Amino acid sequence: SQQGEEDPQALSIQEGENATMNCSYKTSINNLQWYRQNSGRGLVHLILIRSNEREKHSGRLRVTLDTSKKSSSLLITASRAADTASYFCASSGGSYIPTFGRGTSLIVHP
Amino acid sequence: NAGVTQTPKFQVLKTGQSMTLQCAQDMNHNSMYWYRQDPGMGLRLIYYSASEGTTDKGEVPNGYNVSRLNKREFSLRLESAAPSQTSVYFCASSEAGLSGLSYNEQFFGPGTRLTVL
């Protein structure tokens, strides 16, 4: 069974708006990562947050982690049409091997 | 650097045929992985290799075999393809593994789209 589950499954917004995606996981983790996948391509790593961190920023990306709720969120600020992609969370527990969720499909309309 | 490369990009097989998907990485990574991606299912781990000479089963290993030929190459073999194996296959690599690193950013190849008729 998969560890992480993203919500919503699909998100459609206008350019310039913020996009928020959530991820829930079931067991304790060492770290959680977010990946992006453009249509027909492989996944690309965006950001990693460790279990002892609560928030992390990278450019227009902001990731939060709430270990008490076993959840994480990815915020993309001032979205662009080029942000259109699927976004996956991947959590790692005792093993270094991440378990991926089903993804959120984001469409940003110009 | 090419990163992670996969061949072929596309393949159509008939039920019962066999084939090998090739993967190579030039980042000197310890660990390599094979995933399959199906609509609405996200990525599921088929097999992984923590280091040269070792392989382990993932979540969905049935119907597949792997070989870690050397540190660079990790192949996935379908001995007798079935329609249920129609999927997009991704190879990935990471520095973590027996190195003991706790972080594990993975680098993905472009994928192989396999259709089994």
Q: For the purposes of burial, counting CB atoms within 10 Å of the CB of B103, is it exposed (0-12), middle (13-18) or buried (19 or more)? A: middle
pLDDT value for A1: 42
Share of chain B above pLDDT 90, in %: 79
CA distance A12 to chain B (A): 17
Instruction: Compare B85 and B40 and report the one with higher pLDDT.
Output: B85
DSSP state for residue B21 in the 8-state scheme: E
pLDDT value, residue A2: 44
Q: Are the beta carbons of B71 and B24 closer than 8 angstroms?
A: no
Place of tokens 């965006």: A46
Q: How many CB atoms lie within 10 A of CB A74?
A: 25
Encode pLDDT of B69-83 as tens digits: 899 999 999 999 999
Asked whether residue A70 carries a pLDDT value surpassing 90, the answer given is yes
Mean pLDDT, range A11-27, rounded to an integer: 95
- Poorest-pLDDT segment among B6-20, B23-37, B90-104: B90-104
Pick the residue from chain A with its C-alpha nearest to B45.
Answer: A99
A41–B33 CB contact, under 8 Å: no
φ/ψ (deg, to 5) at B115: -120, 130
By Cβ distance, the residue of B41, B102, B111 closest to A31 is: B102
Contact A108, A84 (CB under 8 A): yes
Percentage of the residues of chain A whose pLDDT score is greater than 90: 78
CB-based contact B43 A30, cutoff 8 Å:
no
The pLDDT of residue A49 is 93
- Phi, psi at residue A25, to the nearest 5°? -135, 170
- B90 closest CA partner among B69, B72, B74, B68: B74
Query: What pLDDT shows up at residue A97?
Result: 82
Residue type for A51, please? S
Interior/surface letters A95-108, b for 16+ CB within 10 angstroms, e for the rest: ebbbbbbbbbbbeb
Pairing of strands B74-78, B19-25: antiparallel
CB contact under 8 A, A43 and B108: yes
Write out pLDDT tens, residues B33-72.
999 999 877 899 999 998 888 999 999 999 999 999 899 9
Beta bridge partners of A60: none
The model's confidence at residue B21, banded by pLDDT at 50, 70 and 90, is very high
Q: Give me the amino acid identity at A46.
A: L
A4/A60: higher pLDDT: A60
Sorting pLDDT into bands at 50, 70 and 90, what band is B103? low
Q: pLDDT (tens digit, 9 = 90+) per residue, A72-102?
A: 999 999 999 999 999 999 998 877 788 899 9
Sheet holding B19-25, edge to edge: B4-7, B19-25, B74-78, B64-68
Chain A CB contacts of B33 below 8 Å = 97
Question: Cα–Cα distance between B22 and B8 in angstroms, integer?
Answer: 7
